[in-house]
């Protein structure tokens, strides 16, 4: 028996003002602890040395916003300030595709690698970053204020993009 896995049709592009409305819906579908306020997302449209990307999937005859990637230039490293994929579209490789964009931006700007922070209890994301080659550099106490209280973060780096 053969199984075929359909590759979803997708595109990755820079975020625009018009994406903020569907972005509000996407943010609502993420777990509260991983949810940025919409005004933070809106500010990313104008950040110097920052780049906001979105991923659309083709669904029911139109493009739908299904993921995003927020990048900040921080010294020699490109910092992944936020990355998320709509829960309905996770596990289809979109996270990896967004990560490839981050690497391409870092390479294009001659940067040494990628960095990010993750909540210690976000085990799925943590394992995923480790599989992608990120290494834990340090633990940062009380980095996040979540609906459950303050939580530590892990600072991770991927060298050699
Ligand atoms: C982390 C995140 C961006 C990954 O996006 P994604 O589109 O699911 O990523 P991919 O499909 O490329 O990879 C998912 C991996 O998790 C695995 N996985 C494990 N459990 C899974 C599940 N229940 N559903 C989907 N994938 C699952 C997949 O097999 C895949 O493994 P692989 O990379 O070794 O093949 C996404 O889970 C997400 O948006 N999480 C919520 C927000 C978040 O935690 N962001 C990070 C904040 S630091």
Tens of pLDDT, residue by residue over 84-104, are 999 999 999 999 999 999 999
Radius of gyration of the chain (CA): 16
Q: Tens digits of per-residue pLDDT, 24-48?
A: 999 999 998 889 999 999 999 999 9
pLDDT surpasses 60 at 123: yes
Instruction: Give pLDDT, residue 15.
Output: 98
Ligand 1 proximity of 75 Cβ (cutoff 6 Å): no
Instruction: Give pLDDT, residue 128.
Output: 98
Report CA(90)–ligand 1 centroid distance (Å): 6
Residue 2: other Cβ atoms inside 10 A: 3
Give the domain ranges of the chain: 10-159
Instruction: Give pLDDT, residue 33.
Output: 86
Atom of ligand 1 nearest to the CA of 117: 48
Q: Which of 55, 81, 95, 121 to mutate to test the pocket of ligand 1 (most atoms within 8 A of CB)?
A: 95
Evaluate whether 19 touches 61 at the Cβ level (below 8 Å). Answer: no
Q: Tens digits of per-residue pLDDT, 70-81?
A: 999 999 999 999
- The mean pLDDT value of the chain amounts to 94
Ligand 1 proximity of 29 Cβ (cutoff 6 Å): no
Report CA(76)–ligand 1 centroid distance (Å): 27
Residue nearest to atom 16 of ligand 1 (CA): 91
Beta strands 135-146 and 50-59 are unpaired
Burial class (CB in 10 A: 0-12, 13-18, 19+), 35: middle
Task: Quote the CA–CA distance of 132 and 121 in Å, as a whole number.
Answer: 18
Ligand 1 proximity of 115 Cβ (cutoff 6 Å): no
Instruction: Give pLDDT, residue 7.
Output: 63
More confident residue, 34 or 52: 52
What single-letter DSSP state applies at residue 29? H
Residue 62 pairs with which residues in a beta bridge?
Answer: 59
Instruction: Give pLDDT, residue 1.
Output: 46
Would you place residue 5 in the very low, low, confident or very high pLDDT band (cuts 50, 70, 90)? low
Find the angle CA(59)-CA(60)-CA(62) to the nearest 5 degrees: 65
Dihedral, CA of residue 112, residue 90, residue 32 and residue 100, to nearest 10 = 10
Evaluate whether 77 touches 115 at the Cβ level (below 8 Å). Answer: yes
Does the domain formed by 10-159 have CATH 3.40.1390.20? no
Residue nearest to atom 30 of ligand 1 (CA): 91
Report CA(100)–ligand 1 centroid distance (Å): 14
What single-letter DSSP state applies at residue 18? G
Token pair recorded at residue 72: 């900040």
């Amino acid at each position: 028996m053969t199984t075929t896995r359909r590759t979803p049709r997708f595109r990755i592009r820079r975020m625009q003002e018009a994406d903020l409305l569907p972005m509000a819906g996407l943010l609502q579908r993420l777990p509260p602890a991983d949810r940025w306020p919409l005004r933070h997302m809106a500010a990313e449209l104008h950040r110097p040395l920052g780049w906001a990307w979105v991923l659309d999937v083709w669904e029911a005859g139109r493009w739908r916003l299904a993921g995003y990637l927020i990048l900040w230039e921080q010294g020699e490293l490109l910092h992944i300030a936020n990355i998320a994929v709509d829960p309905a579209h996770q596990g289809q490789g979109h996270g990896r595709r967004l990560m490839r964009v981050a690497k391409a931006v870092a390479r294009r700007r001659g940067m040494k690698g990628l960095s990010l922070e993750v909540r210690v209890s976000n085990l799925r994301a943590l394992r995923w970053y480790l599989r992608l080659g990120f290494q834990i550099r340090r633990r940062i106490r009380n980095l996040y204020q979540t609906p459950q209280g303050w939580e530590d973060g892990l600072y991770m780096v991927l060298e050699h993009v």
